[in-house]
Structure 1
């Protein structure tokens, strides 16, 4: 189990070293592609093991939990690592045509692989201090990718990005210290029982809010999201795509993990805050998108908006709502990364992502138009694509919980998302190009066309598969939600049978308090 759990972390780090050594030639880019493919294979093996055996854990260096470094994978962790592998491979192939030689020589592929290692580490760690460590790995790699090239707009976006994220890091580390002082442990499975023995539950709730803010910055929730639309439109398209797909989702994952496993002693208070945050995040994000006139800025604001749906599932804290949150996570990573990749091709053949300066894409590149419509309709929630099922589950969960206002907000935000996607279609694809340019895909070399369109088409097919055949994916989300709401298997895998608390946990505790 140690190698199965560690390989999704080791492979990207090893690939990063090799890619850096060979960064001066074409070998570096192909090393990155092969490393990403190996990561996907390793994540698939991990998923098979989790499906076969249930929650699996390993103690690094054979130091017994809770004293050593623990890696652990349940269904949610495993699927997030798989999606990381899929997205990483798609973007690494896309980068073959997107990243120029100068950025490759500056270490793009090495930084990209370090970022993937940090993401996988965050998904697989069973220790909250090591979660902080993996956040730092991601911050360093993402900042390097963000400013790669040294343009003024990149440096401006990078400073905004790193400043707020450093504030989040300080808050996170302070919370870790306080939590350790109160419980004497940082192992997540061990914390599940330890927090229930804390005498000062009010202070524990304050610490929970500190973690909520720290992870909220990483996830770009209201009102902590303004760094994202200020920075995500500035780097290379490949960087924007991997950021859009994965970075904020690590923050969402951290919120889901800690507020189902650890901070469940004051659910009516903490999750009510999350419910308000979810509503405002959805609304402010979609309004920001409606006001923008650049494809990447619109898509950046929609990252914020869609994060609100995922937080909504956690905030409602019912089995169906958690199912919706898990399903939405998987769907959104694929769709959002794909939309940024489409924007990159549009920029290459039409000359810009500013909607006032481009047009004619449907007439001269109808295949690209189709590849845009699939993720765009999915993001907006058109049936029967994946976004429809994700939104349907969350709206139904809201109605079942009698949260009618938040259900109405989710529906209105969906309509405004349609408006934004229609705006992109009307300006970029339907109207003629204002400068009379014919944005044909044939302007790209055959090699570049293959590198750019293959990952976009593959992700679009995956979106259609999830949408047209949702049952196995919903069933998987149901099993994931069951593990999150009843973490007994997680605790047993990490600490053994004797560590399972006698008191009710998760949803059972919430029902008991009601």
Structure 2
């Protein structure tokens, strides 16, 4: 089984190389991408089943045993998020392929999109599976390098300004990450996560606190935690539609996963984390209130993305098995629902020719299918029963109320932020789907990749979006078994023993 661990990273890399060689054949490029991500999804499902049944799966790369060698590790949490993320990347790829066919025809190949898309997927897989800090840094750089290319394709003046913000902030966080890794290595003599966990108690408490805060800042920037979130609402709305959906679904959640993994494994706590409770409240409220002030549908969704990162932070802040389990389940659901809403936003924009809510209207009469595709993920994000969002939020609320007075207060903020989310999404529904249809606004930017105001869409674009809706519904339908899996994952995260033992063997049990 350990032989499968490298394939979620290697297959997208190989696929990226093949798409470069197939640069003259658009059909072959598309086939390579879809087949590659389908294979990765199957492998992720196999890893999840086996990791849940038998514990963490470890692959020693190059024949060197950890902590000297690089290890890939698949446990319940990483395998679950890898599976959900791969399903999202597959659906977004189908959407992007058919959008390009509609806009440019079937013969239009791409020299950059398919290779960079698959390289980003390889980086995501590596981030979930790596067992050491430096390889995690490499995974983030792989993701970010590919994302730089994707966000700047078909550039316009607005997109260049937005991408400059994205690139600058990403480079700054990468420099901080590299500095943190150097400090961890200087303090412990290793970068292997399992080995660091066994040595971190020998580090002076003050230095241990500094290391924990540095990693919090690094992953906080990448995850858009308030007050480090300012770059996201300026960057994601200006990316091409499918790229924005991919970024919204994956990048911040990969960063939260890294934060969750490092804080639970390396910096254990016996009581709720006060600083993280404060950050969770700020992130939930600033994001939700920011969404209410937006007239641009993509900026509104970007602020809601920030807000709901706060829900996951709340689960980490409570710092017990139930809350961490709830945060893991919420992350899995959030990956699908935000990607779905950004894809729906792309369909709306193509129908109306604008991102301004006050210039839309009547789409429920023109396209009932589009109304349904928006309504279901909107209800899921707002946490209305019996959706996956409701199940995940209920788990977080129960854990918070059981943890003490301050987590109970923050649980009340979770309810407030959920109501603000519902209000923001109802506002979108009223402005976009109710009323009389308005004529589309012609596109005045001939260089824009997305041709808007033409109502030109394809059935596969709707099908890909509906596929993500189905994944979200499946999370709700199988909430019981998934909650059991994330419950075991939460216990393992806080214990750390099974992870260390799997990676280091008998040495990890000491």
TM-score, normalised with respect to structure 1: 0.92
The structure with higher relative contact order (CA 8 Å, sep 6+) is: 2
Contact kept in structure 2, 1:96 and 1:451, CA below 8 Å? no
Report how far residue 320 of structure 1 moved: 1.3
**1:196-227 deviation digits (Å, cap 9, x = unpaired):** 122x2211111110110000001100100111
Find the aligned partners of 1:433 and 1:354 in 2 and give their Cα distance: 15
Tell me the residue number matched to 1:482. Answer: 491
Tell me the residue number matched to 1:259. Answer: 263
Find the aligned partners of 2:236 and 2:324 in 1 and give their Cα distance: 28
The ranges of structure 1 where at least 4 consecutive aligned residues each deviate by more than 3 angstroms after the TM superposition are: 99-104, 266-269, 433-437
Find the aligned partners of 2:357 and 2:181 in 1 and give their Cα distance: 45
Q: CA, structure 1 residues 436+256, in 2 after alignment: closer, same or farther (shift >3 Å)?
A: closer
Find the aligned partners of 1:444 and 1:433 in 2 and give their Cα distance: 13
More moved, 247-256 vs 2-11? 2-11
Find the aligned partners of 1:341 and 1:83 in 2 and give their Cα distance: 16
Report how far residue 450 of structure 1 moved: 2.3
From 150, 173, 179, give the equivalent of 2:184.
Answer: 179
From 495, 503, 514, give the equivalent of 2:504.
Answer: 495
**1:125-159 deviation digits (Å, cap 9, x = unpaired):** 00111101111111101111111112111111111
Q: In structure 2, the residue corresponding to 1:61 is in which secondary structure?
A: helix
From 112, 127, 147, give the equivalent of 1:142.
Answer: 147
Q: Is 1:154 paired with 2:155?
A: no
Find the aligned partners of 1:162 and 1:268 in 2 and give their Cα distance: 37
Find the aligned partners of 1:254 and 1:59 in 2 and give their Cα distance: 20
- Unmatched 5+ stretches in structure 2: 442-453
Contact kept in structure 2, 1:94 and 1:451, CA below 8 Å? yes
Report how far residue 13 of structure 1 moved: 0.6
Q: In structure 2, the residue corresponding to 1:383 is in which secondary structure?
A: coil
Tell me the residue number matched to 2:476. Answer: 467
Contact kept in structure 2, 1:157 and 1:231, CA below 8 Å? yes
RMSD over aligned Cα, in angstroms?
1.9
Contact kept in structure 1, 2:497 and 2:508, CA below 8 Å? no
Q: CA, structure 1 residues 189+372, in 2 after alignment: closer, same or farther (shift >3 Å)?
A: same
Find the aligned partners of 1:145 and 1:205 in 2 and give their Cα distance: 37
Report how far residue 308 of structure 1 moved: 0.3
Contact kept in structure 2, 1:357 and 1:433, CA below 8 Å? no
Report how far residue 456 of structure 1 moved: 1.3
Find the aligned partners of 1:76 and 1:104 in 2 and give their Cα distance: 37
Tell me the residue number matched to 1:424. Answer: 428
Tell me the residue number matched to 1:25. Answer: 25
Q: In structure 1, the residue corresponding to 2:63 is in which secondary structure?
A: coil
Equivalent runs, 1:91-490 vs 2, <5 Å: 91-99=92-100, 105-198=110-203, 200-264=204-268, 271-402=273-404, 403-435=407-439, 448-490=457-499
Contact kept in structure 1, 2:285 and 2:417, CA below 8 Å? yes
Q: In structure 1, the residue corresponding to 2:58 is in which secondary structure?
A: strand
Tell me the residue number matched to 2:6. Answer: 6
Tell me the residue number matched to 2:16. Answer: 16
Contact kept in structure 1, 2:344 and 2:374, CA below 8 Å? yes
Q: In structure 2, the residue corresponding to 1:57 is in which secondary structure?
A: strand
Contact kept in structure 1, 2:365 and 2:437, CA below 8 Å? no
Find the aligned partners of 1:73 and 1:467 in 2 and give their Cα distance: 24
Q: In structure 1, the residue corresponding to 2:59 is in which secondary structure?
A: strand
More moved, 401-410 vs 208-217? 401-410
Count of aligned pairs between the two proteins: 493
Contact kept in structure 2, 1:362 and 1:429, CA below 8 Å? yes
Find the aligned partners of 2:64 and 2:309 in 1 and give their Cα distance: 37
Find the aligned partners of 2:490 and 2:66 in 1 and give their Cα distance: 25
**1:174-196 deviation digits (Å, cap 9, x = unpaired):** 11101101110110011111101
**1:434-455 deviation digits (Å, cap 9, x = unpaired):** 4378xxxxx767xx52221112
